[in-house]
Structure 1
Amino acid sequence: MTTRTKALVWAACAVAVLFCAVAGRVYWLARQDDSLRYAASRDAALAAGRERIAELNTLDVKNIDSGLGLWLHASTGALHDKLAATRATDRTTLTKAGTSARGTVTDAALTALDYRAGTAALIATVKVAVTPRGGTATTDRKRFTATLARTREGWKVTALSAVPVGKEGA
């Protein structure tokens, strides 16, 4: 091996080591970047919020206990406590009404997120297909604000409020 070849091999090795060091440093900095954790938390809260709001707007009259259980699974805190306390009354009222509903979130966005505290606020538009007993299905559009909390089982709804839709020209 000539002196020139040895020098080129050493130079190539030095460049490779330098590249690995720079790439490792960039990777380490990216892993420490707080904005990545924030973005992951934001995406998880939004996805779970969409799913939970749809669940809270869905009920099959043929499987009321399952639907009420899904409502409890989708909620936590004060909302969960309220749903649990009124479950028997809700079962009776919903059975008597005989109406099924299927909610689909058409759009949603987080309006606030504190990923360290595990809280978020969300707005959503929901298309609700309502089918009365023996009747024809109708579709209603609703808007909601929701407060979410991160639990061991993921993000759940702690408060859900309907947003009134304004009248045209008002």
Structure 2
Amino acid sequence: MTPTSLRTLRTRRTPEVPKALRTARNPLTVVALTLALLAAGAAGWGGWSWYAAAHDDSAAYARSRDRALAAGEQAVQNMNTLDHRKLAAGLDTWEASTTGDLHKQLTDGRAGFEKQIKSAQTVSTAKVLSGAVTELDDRAGKASVMVALRITVTAPKGKPAEKESRLLGELTRTSGGWKLSGLGQAPVGNTAG
């Protein structure tokens, strides 16, 4: 063989394989690329799902319901808590918790309430046991709640008296949030057939 033919043989030995093909032949590289694509797809799907859930109308409705319930429970508790020693602050809280006709009744009858409570010298406190929104019209800004309370009334002489009560409250959404616009006893009936 001549030196020229030897040189030709050396150059023909193995053709050069492109880098992309050499990488694809490595099984670990193929697995890593597949896992990376799957992870990117899962992340994209998770992000889209989270965004869709966060902007869902039912989630907004649930948040509105929760705000109405919290405000309703607090307002009903406020309306059943009054200390004759802090009468002005207690009646101010009553007024701040209400709107509409109920608010008007409280402001119009404030002098009479003050006289009654000063005369009785009672302290009443309420604790919410449970509550539920029974109706919610978010667009109209109206809601109804039922709240179960434990009310403790302490007279100047004697032991504190406790009673449990279920009250129905009507709420109206105002610029200051949900406020109590009506309050009454929940009917107690026989549920046995």
1:53-94 CA distance string (max 9 Å, x none): 111000011110011011011111111121111112211221
Asked if 1:3 is matched to 2:26, the reply is no
Alignment-derived partner of residue 159 in structure 1: 182
CA 1:164–1:19 in 2, change beyond 3 Å: closer, same or farther? closer
In structure 2, C-alpha distance between the alignment counterparts of 1:24 and 1:85, rounded to whole Å: 55
Across the aligned residues of Structure 1 and Structure 2, the Cα RMSD in angstroms comes to: 2.3
Asked if 1:137 is matched to 2:157, the reply is no
In structure 2, C-alpha distance between the alignment counterparts of 1:65 and 1:131, rounded to whole Å: 18
TM-score with structure 2 setting the length: 0.77
Identity %: 33
Q: How many residue pairs are counted as aligned between the two chains?
A: 168
Ranges in structure 1 where 5+ consecutive residues have no aligned partner: none
In structure 2, C-alpha distance between the alignment counterparts of 1:130 and 1:164, rounded to whole Å: 22
In structure 2, C-alpha distance between the alignment counterparts of 1:101 and 1:44, rounded to whole Å: 26
In structure 2, C-alpha distance between the alignment counterparts of 1:10 and 1:165, rounded to whole Å: 67
Asked if 1:120 is matched to 2:140, the reply is no
Runs (4+) of structure 1 exceeding 3 A deviation are 5-14, 164-167
Ranges in structure 2 where 5+ consecutive residues have no aligned partner: 1-18
Alignment-derived partner of residue 150 in structure 1: 173
Aligned to 1:122, what secondary structure does the other structure show?
strand
Alignment-derived partner of residue 72 in structure 2: 49
In structure 1, C-alpha distance between the alignment counterparts of 2:189 and 2:42, rounded to whole Å: 59
TM-score with structure 1 setting the length: 0.86
Aligned to 2:184, what secondary structure does the other structure show?
strand
